[in-house]
């Protein structure tokens, strides 16, 4: 991974801006800084204001692990496209897999007391389940309890980690890369700028499409993203570059 704010990154951004890109973003840890209480996460005003401006020039999308109802109230701007539940909740796609999680829901109900004792909170987001352990007194005990409960997950379930969370999504729902491909098709965008910070963003980075410029928010060894920025605090700087470059593209 290379620093996006480098001569090379700048050249790639300029080339991207000339191709009417789709601008797509993860939410937690990307647009909104990570906070101890997930219900307090918000897009900072400086970021929301710039995204509103960019949205008048280019298609803007947010693809989050949150449910859409939860996500929309935290944005402070209205992107043209939103996808929730790690790609599984797309307003334009029929969800045929919502009952896939029912067996696990049943098991979670049975283990609710033990999970609570270990500091694990269960979030049912409809199209996915999240087992949070950020607030656990001992996170390794919490993780062990989660692993014991999930055991060897059935093939129709996709289980993956995140920042202090274990997520379970119906495998048939696809991932963020699949959701992004649908958005590219829907918008007719000539290129993509994608920013994400976590395990569920890696399928997008790993897709390695020539016309997708991928940016991992936060330095992470082993990420397949082409570039990185230091954190959500650098997002406004990147958006300012896009505003300047798209103004030039429009004038040029
Ligand atoms: Mg994230």
> Does residue 123 sit in the same domain as residue 241?
no
CA of 164 to the centre of ligand 1 (A): 11
Asked if residue 93 belongs to a domain, the reply is no
Instruction: Give the CATH number, domain containing residue 144.
Output: 3.30.70.1020
> Does residue 194 sit in the same domain as residue 80?
yes
**3-state secondary structure (DSSP) of residue 11:** helix
The domain total for the chain is 2
Arithmetic mean of pLDDT, 1-19: 97
Domain boundary (153, 172, 191) is at 172
CA of 216 to the centre of ligand 1 (A): 10
pLDDT at 252 over 70: no
Cβ neighbours of residue 164 under 8 Å, at least 6 residues apart? Answer: 132, 133, 134, 139
Asked if residue 141 belongs to a domain, the reply is yes
> Does residue 78 sit in the same domain as residue 21?
yes
CA of 29 to the centre of ligand 1 (A): 5
pLDDT at 21 over 90: yes
| Domain of residue 30, residue span | 2-88+174-251
> Does residue 139 sit in the same domain as residue 237?
no
Domain boundary (144, 172, 200) is at 172
pLDDT tens digits, 67-89:
999 999 999 999 999 999 999 99
Residue 240 annotated as catalytic: no
> Does residue 70 sit in the same domain as residue 129?
no
Render 60-115 in DSSP notation, one character per residue. Answer: EEEE-SS-HHHHHTTTSS--SEEEBGGGTB-TTS----GGGGHHHHHHHHHTHHHH
- Comparison of pLDDT for 15 and 220, the residue scoring more: 15
pLDDT at 183 over 70: yes
pLDDT tens digits, 85-142:
999 999 998 877 778 999 999 999 999 999 999 999 999 999 999 999 999 999 999 9
CA of 248 to the centre of ligand 1 (A): 31
List residues, by chain if needed, whose CB lies under 5 Å from ion ligand 1. Answer: 26, 28-29, 197-198
Asked if residue 131 belongs to a domain, the reply is yes
Residue in 12, 26, 28, 90 annotated catalytic = 26
* DSSP-derived secondary structure letter, 33: -
Instruction: Give the CATH number, domain containing residue 182.
Output: 3.40.50.1000
| Highest mean pLDDT (candidates 23-27, 35-39, 246-250) | 23-27
Asked if residue 21 belongs to a domain, the reply is yes
CA of 230 to the centre of ligand 1 (A): 14
Asked if residue 105 belongs to a domain, the reply is yes
Query: What pLDDT score was predicted for residue 36?
Result: 83
């Amino acid at each position: 991974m290379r620093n996006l704010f480098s001569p090379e990154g700048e050249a790639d951004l300029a080339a991207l801006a000339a191709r009417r890109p789709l601008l797509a973003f993860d939410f937690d840890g990307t647009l909104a800084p990570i906070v101890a209480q997930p219900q307090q996460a918000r897009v900072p005003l400086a970021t929301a204001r710039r995204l509103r401006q960019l949205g008048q020039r280019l298609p803007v999308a947010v693809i989050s692990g949150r449910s859409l109802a939860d996500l929309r109230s935290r944005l402070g701007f209205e992107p043209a496209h939103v996808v929730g539940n790690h790609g599984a909740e797309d307003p334009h796609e029929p969800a045929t897999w919502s009952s896939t999680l029912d067996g696990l829901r049943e098991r979670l109900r049975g283990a609710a007391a033990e999970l609570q004792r270990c500091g694990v909170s269960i979030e049912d987001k409809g199209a996915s389940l999240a087992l949070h352990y950020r607030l656990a007194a001992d996170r390794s005990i919490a993780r062990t309890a989660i692993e014991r409960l999930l055991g060897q997950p059935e093939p129709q379930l996709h289980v993956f980690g995140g920042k202090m969370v274990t997520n379970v999504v119906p495998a048939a729902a696809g991932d963020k890369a699949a959701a992004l491909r649908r958005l590219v098709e829907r918008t007719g965008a000539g290129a993509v700028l994608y920013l994400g910070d976590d395990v569920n963003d890696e399928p997008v980075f790993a897709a390695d499409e020539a016309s997708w410029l991928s940016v991992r928010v936060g330095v992470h060894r082993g990420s397949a993203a082409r570039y990185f920025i230091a954190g959500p605090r650098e997002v406004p700087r990147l958006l300012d570059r896009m505003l300047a470059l798209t103004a030039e593209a429009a004038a040029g």
